[in-house]
Amino acid sequence: MPKRLDVSETLSPPIADSVARATSRSNGAAPAGGFNALVPELDVSNLAVSLHFWCELLGFEVAYDRPAAW
């Protein structure tokens, strides 16, 4: 089961360099059937609040993340 984040967790600033961000260390793995051809990446002003909304309130799960990119 993917790990759930505490919304009070302090996150480090995101990596400014887009190449470094895209190639940073990740957790999880691609879904068994692979990713869809189009996977949206949303900019948010508060990641902890956004994760709470999508995961805790709507029931989605984080299947893959790049913590250093936050």
**Model confidence band, residue 57 (pLDDT cutoffs 50, 70, 90):** very high
Return d(Cα 57, Cα 29) in angstroms, integer. 23
CA torsion angle 49 16 19 48 (round to 10): -10
Residue pair 64/27 in contact (Cβ under 8 Å)? The answer is yes
Task: Indicate the domain borders of the chain.
Answer: 18-69
CA–CA separation, 17 and 38 (whole Å): 22
CA distance 23 to 21: 6
Q: Tens digit of pLDDT for each residue in 19-44?
A: 776 677 777 777 777 777 777 777 88
Predicted pLDDT at 44: 86
Compute the distance between CA of residue 9 and CA of residue 20 in angstroms, rounded to an integer: 23
According to the model, what pLDDT value does residue 47 have? 86
